[in-house]
């Protein structure tokens, strides 16, 4: 991949494109969708033809970004990927595009080579791909209409966990403020992204929280998501990541543990370990797992009871 090193150069490249297919990653999140549609609407606003595609249908919760969107007819000339760290993340449905990506715009620091693209602008300091698109548009004084502002705000808000993660830099806040002044509907977007949950989700959380267990010290909390709960409340397995933040919401808890029973093997539990101070990778390492300092994962076997016991005992050592 040839590196594009400045926003100006990126903007020039983007403006030279026409008949563009924009690729987003599988299990699409707010950043890949916001960057994809934000870029698409910008290209269309300067008279270019562009479409946004994904391996699967886009989730309805992002409908406010593409309510009036429809695909354009054209013979494709360029392929751009946004927020896609690796060709495998395009998913099976788009894997034929992997060979044809001309330009990759991304902020993931993993896999820095991105060999699947001919050219790329990758800024791992940026909290979101949407922040890159925003900065590029500002760099060239492009007009950001309210719909583009909604798109870019959505990606910045979601990739910073509603501005609560450490990546919520001054630049992210400044960009968000500017996007709001350009028409981004921040209250609606944040409610849709962070507050609204399906009924099944809320009821499953009630059940899971009701069964939460604590270590004797009260500093470790554990929840368990069983297959039975997932089936009973119709929970989407793609949504399961969101539960892992629940145990750490309890006052005084320093280590939050989440067990997820595996559908193909009920004696297997994937564990998410979230910590305030302790090194989560060390706890995960006891069971052959790994990850990041404050968020790691591993797999345990046994009954739910046994897995919970083992994990709490291991975590207690690192309080
Ligand atoms: Mn992202």
Residue 1 has pLDDT above 90, yes or no: no
Task: Report CA(110)–ligand 1 centroid distance (Å).
Answer: 12
- The pLDDT value recorded for residue 237 is 80
Task: Report CA(316)–ligand 1 centroid distance (Å).
Answer: 34
Measured CA to CA, the distance from residue 120 to residue 158 in angstroms comes to: 23
Task: Report CA(272)–ligand 1 centroid distance (Å).
Answer: 21
How much is the average pLDDT of 306-318? 97
Task: Report CA(107)–ligand 1 centroid distance (Å).
Answer: 6
- The pLDDT value recorded for residue 166 is 85
pLDDT in tens, 275-296: 999 999 999 999 999 988 888 9
pLDDT in tens, 118-151: 999 999 999 999 999 999 999 999 999 999 999 9
Lowest mean pLDDT across 38-47, 199-208, 230-239: 230-239
CB-CB contact of 154 with 128 (8 Å): no
- The pLDDT value recorded for residue 242 is 83
pLDDT in tens, 2-14: 999 999 999 999 9
| pLDDT above 90: percentage of residues in the chain | 90
> Chain centroid to CA 106: how far?
13
How much is the average pLDDT of 33-44? 98
199-316 CATH: 3.10.310.30
Task: Report CA(130)–ligand 1 centroid distance (Å).
Answer: 8
Task: Report CA(309)–ligand 1 centroid distance (Å).
Answer: 35
Task: Report CA(159)–ligand 1 centroid distance (Å).
Answer: 6
Lowest mean pLDDT across 46-60, 75-89, 239-253: 239-253
Q: Given pLDDT bands bounded at 50, 70 and 90, which one contains residue 18?
A: very high
Task: Report CA(199)–ligand 1 centroid distance (Å).
Answer: 27
Task: Report CA(232)–ligand 1 centroid distance (Å).
Answer: 32
How much is the average pLDDT of 262-269? 96
247: Cβ contacts below 8 Å, ≥ 6 apart: 212, 221, 222, 223, 253, 255, 256, 257, 258, 274
- The pLDDT value recorded for residue 50 is 98
Residue 111 has pLDDT above 60, yes or no: no
Task: Report CA(287)–ligand 1 centroid distance (Å).
Answer: 29
Residue 205 has pLDDT above 70, yes or no: yes
- The pLDDT value recorded for residue 210 is 97
Please identify which residue in the block is written with the tokens 């309080």: 319
Task: Report CA(84)–ligand 1 centroid distance (Å).
Answer: 8
Task: Report CA(157)–ligand 1 centroid distance (Å).
Answer: 10
Measured CA to CA, the distance from residue 41 to residue 28 in angstroms comes to: 18
Task: Report CA(106)–ligand 1 centroid distance (Å).
Answer: 7
Measured CA to CA, the distance from residue 160 to residue 138 in angstroms comes to: 21
| pLDDT above 70: percentage of residues in the chain | 98
The predicted model scores a pTM of 0.87
pLDDT in tens, 170-200: 999 999 999 999 999 999 999 999 999 889 9
CATH topology of domain 2-195: inorganic pyrophosphatase (n-terminal core) (3.90.1640)
- The pLDDT value recorded for residue 260 is 96
Domains of the chain, by residue range, sit at: 2-195, 199-316
The answer to whether the 2-195 and 199-316 domains have the same CATH topology is no
Task: Report CA(174)–ligand 1 centroid distance (Å).
Answer: 18
Task: Report CA(45)–ligand 1 centroid distance (Å).
Answer: 24
Measured CA to CA, the distance from residue 249 to residue 256 in angstroms comes to: 9
Q: How many CB atoms lie under 10 A from the CB of residue 168?
A: 19
Mean of the per-residue pLDDT values of the chain: 95
């Amino acid at each position: 991949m040839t590196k594009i090193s400045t926003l100006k150069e990126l903007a020039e490249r983007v403006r030279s494109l026409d008949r563009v297919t924009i690729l987003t990653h599988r299990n699409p999140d707010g950043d890949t969708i916001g960057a994809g549609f934000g870029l698409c609407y910008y290209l269309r606003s300067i008279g270019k033809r562009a479409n946004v595609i994904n391996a699967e249908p886009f989730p309805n919760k992002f409908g406010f970004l593409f309510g009036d969107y429809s695909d354009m007819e054209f013979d494709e000339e360029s392929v751009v990927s946004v927020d896609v760290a690796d060709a495998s993340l395009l998913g099976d449905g788009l894997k034929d595009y992997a060979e044809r990506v001309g330009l990759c715009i991304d902020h993931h620091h993993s896999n820095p080579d991105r060999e699947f693209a001919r050219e790329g602008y990758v800024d791992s300091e940026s909290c979101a791909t949407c922040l890159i698109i925003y900065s590029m548009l500002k760099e060239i004084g492009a007009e950001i209409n309210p719909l583009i502002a909604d798109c870019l705000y959505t990606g910045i808000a979601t990739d910073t966990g509603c501005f609560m993660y450490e990546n919520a830099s001054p630049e992210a806040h400044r960009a968000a403020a500017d996007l709001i002044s350009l028409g981004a509907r921040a209250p609606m977007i944040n409610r849709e992204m962070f507050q609204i949950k399906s009924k099944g989700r809320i009821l499953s959380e009630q059940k899971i929280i009701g069964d939460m267990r604590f270590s004797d010290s009260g500093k470790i909390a554990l929840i368990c998501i069983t297959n039975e709960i997932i089936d009973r409340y119709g929970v989407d397995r793609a949504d399961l990541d969101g539960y892992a933040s629940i145990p750490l919401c309890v006052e005084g808890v320093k280590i939050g543990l989440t067990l997820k029973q595996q559908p193909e093997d009920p004696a297997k539990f994937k564990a998410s370990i979230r910590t305030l101070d302790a090194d989560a990778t060390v706890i995960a390492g006891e069971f052959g797992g790994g990850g990041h300092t404050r968020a790691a994962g591993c797999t345990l076997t046994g009954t739910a009871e046994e897995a919970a016991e083992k994990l709490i005992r291991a975590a207690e050592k690192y309080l």
